[in-house]
Amino acid sequence: MTTPEDEKKSNGSEFGPLRTFGRTGGRPLSTRQQKLMDELLPKLSVNINDHIASFDPNELFEGKPKEIWFEIGFGGAEHLIGQAQNNPDIGFIGCEPFLEGVAKAVTLIWENEIPNIRLHAYDARDILNGLADQSLDRVFIMFPDPWHKTKHHKRRLIQPEFLETLSRVLKPGGKVRFATDWANYADWALERFEQSPHFEWTATKADDWRIPPADHVTTRYQTKGLGDCKPVFLDFAKI
């Protein structure tokens, strides 16, 4: 049941910013998943209460990763896990509010003994707002909630103020990849990135956004084809 406090938080009151994602609950976790969530997730979590403003994400990992990559809304975790396995010298921070998705990520991290991922089981902005300036090398925003209805477009993650935050935490030349299978959201995102003075679209030909990039990891959501167009991949660089 939704409480008045939940509704206020969802609508962006003093309880927090406007929520950009849908449900956070799902099917009950298996006994194994719940055990891993109880025992392993605390060790993997980015505990923002332990950090003052402007914390360095390198401190989350043993040693010093070559770079820090950040995934917003990792869903079933296929992309996050695949990228971490393909890039063992990179430190990854993944954020996802959907409990079942977090449980899948924790399980896959445990099964594959992946050391270079840290997790936040809620809004990515919790982490972004606390990161030091120019502390990220790359950001992935893969198939976010499109919020179809016009009255809900204000809930879309890609907004001018959000791009200002991305610009602050990305290093010069840092990369952002936005992917969607909804044509209107692709147009929406491209328009806002191009209006920003901080980013440039790196595409030089149509195949650059029509064909999955060579380093893309296909997700189960992507294969379902739930959108109204083929996946669009928009890559941007911080100026």
* Distance (Å, whole) CA 72 – CA 124: 6
List binding-site positions for substrate: 149, 181
Residue of 126, 145, 215, 228 marked active site: 145
38 labelled catalytic: no
Going through the chain in order, the beta strands assigned E by DSSP cover 67-72, 90-95, 117-120, 136-142, 170-180, 199-201, 232-238
Write down the residue that tokens 């919020």 correspond to: 147
Cβ proximity of 98 and 26 under 8 Å: yes
Reported as type and span, the H/E element at residue 163 is: helix 160-169
Residue type, 210: R
Q: How far is CA 106 from CA 27, 83, 110, in A?
A: 16, 15, 6
List binding-site positions for S-adenosyl-L-methionine: 71, 96, 123, 145
User: Annotated active-site positions, please?
Assistant: 145
